[in-house]
Chain A
Amino acid sequence: MDDLVKILAELKDIAEAPTPNDYLKSWKEKGGKAIGWFCTYVPEEIIYACGMLPYRVTGEAINLELADSYLYPNACSFARNCLEMGLKGHYDLLDGLVGCNTCDHIRRMLDNWEIYLKTPFLHIFGLPHKVTEDTVSFFEDQLSVLKEKLEELAGCKLSEDAIYQGIKVYNRTRELLQYIYDSRKAELPPISGTETLAIIKAATRMPRDEYNRCLEKLVAELNSTENPKTSGEGPRILICGSLLDKADLHRTVEEMGGLVVADELCTGSRYFHGRVDESLEPIRALAGYYLSKPPCARMRPFKRRFDYVLDLVKQFKVDGVIYEVIKFCDTYGYDRPSLKKELEKNGIPVLELDIEYLPGSIGQVKTRIQAFIEMLNDRIRCAQS
Chain B
Amino acid sequence: MVDVAKDQLGVVIEGFRKRLAHRRRHPGPKSSELFYEAIIKTYQSIADAKEEGKPLVWSSAIVPVEIFYAMDVVPFMPEPYCAIVASQLNLTGYMDMATSYGYPVELCSFHRLILAMAENNELPLPDILIHNSQVCDSSLKDFDLLSGIFQCPIFMVEQPFCFDETGIKYYKKELQRLIEFLEETTQRKLDYDRLGRVLELSNEAMAYQFEYEQLRKTVPTPVRAKDAFRTVNIKWMAGTEEAVAYFRSVRDEAAQMVENQRGAIPEERYRLYWAFAAPPMYANDICDWLETEYGAVFPVDMHNVILEKKDLDLSDPLGSLARKYFFDHLIKLCGAPLKLAIEDVVRVAEDYRIDGVVFPAHLGCKHGCAMIRGLRDALKERAGIPSLILDCDLLDPSIMPPDELRRKFEEFLEILENR
Report A's interface with B, CB cutoff 8 A.
Answer: 69-72, 74-76, 100-101, 103-105, 107-109, 111-112, 114-115, 124-130, 134-135, 138, 141-142, 297-298, 300-302, 325, 327-328, 330-331, 333-338, 340, 352, 354
Q: Which of B104, B137, B144, B166 contacts A354 (CB 8 A)?
A: B104
Please tell me if the beta carbons of A130 and B158 are within 8 angstroms of each other in the complex.
yes
Please tell me if the beta carbons of A334 and B141 are within 8 angstroms of each other in the complex.
yes
Q: Which of B108, B138, B160, B370 contacts A109 (CB 8 A)?
A: B370
Q: Nearest residue in A to B377 (C-beta to C-beta)?
A: A115
B170 at the binding interface (Cβ < 8 Å): yes
Please tell me if the beta carbons of A340 and B162 are within 8 angstroms of each other in the complex.
no
**Complex: A128 Cα to B136 Cα, angstroms:** 14
Q: Nearest residue in B to A340 (C-beta to C-beta)?
A: B102
Q: Nearest residue in A to B374 (C-beta to C-beta)?
A: A115
B107 at the binding interface (Cβ < 8 Å): yes
Please tell me if the beta carbons of A333 and B106 are within 8 angstroms of each other in the complex.
yes
B10 at the binding interface (Cβ < 8 Å): no
Those 3 A-B pairs whose CB atoms lie nearest each other, nearest first: A337-B102, A108-B370, A126-B161
Please tell me if the beta carbons of A112 and B370 are within 8 angstroms of each other in the complex.
yes
Please tell me if the beta carbons of A103 and B144 are within 8 angstroms of each other in the complex.
no
**Complex: A331 Cα to B136 Cα, angstroms:** 10
Please tell me if the beta carbons of B367 and A333 are within 8 angstroms of each other in the complex.
no
**1/0 contact trace for B225-268 toward A, CB 8 Å?**
00000000000000000000000000000000000000000000
Which residues of chain A have C-beta atoms less than 8 A from B141's C-beta? 297, 302, 330-331, 334-335
Q: Nearest residue in B to A76 (C-beta to C-beta)?
A: B366
Total B residues in contact with A, Cβ cutoff 8 Å: 45
**Complex: A327 Cα to B170 Cα, angstroms:** 34
Q: Nearest residue in A to B365 (C-beta to C-beta)?
A: A74
Which residues of chain A have C-beta atoms less than 8 A from B107's C-beta? 330, 333-334
**Complex: A230 Cα to B370 Cα, angstroms:** 46
Which residues of chain A have C-beta atoms less than 8 A from B111's C-beta? 334
Please tell me if the beta carbons of B106 and A126 are within 8 angstroms of each other in the complex.
no
B142 at the binding interface (Cβ < 8 Å): yes
Which residues of chain A have C-beta atoms less than 8 A from B167's C-beta? 126
Please tell me if the beta carbons of B136 and A104 are within 8 angstroms of each other in the complex.
yes
Which residues of chain A have C-beta atoms less than 8 A from B364's C-beta? 74
A221 to chain B, nearest CB (A): 42
Please tell me if the beta carbons of A338 and B373 are within 8 angstroms of each other in the complex.
no
Interface CB pairs A-B, < 8 A, 24: A72-B369, A76-B366, A103-B137, A107-B367, A108-B370, A109-B370, A111-B371, A112-B338, A127-B161, A129-B156, A130-B133, A138-B160, A300-B156, A301-B144, A301-B147, A301-B154, A331-B140, A331-B141, A333-B103, A334-B137, A334-B138, A335-B145, A337-B103, A338-B148
**Complex: A333 Cα to B112 Cα, angstroms:** 11
Q: Which of B102, B106, B174, B339 contacts A328 (CB 8 A)?
A: B106
Please tell me if the beta carbons of A334 and B142 are within 8 angstroms of each other in the complex.
yes
Which residues of chain B have C-beta atoms less than 8 A from A331's C-beta? 137, 140-141
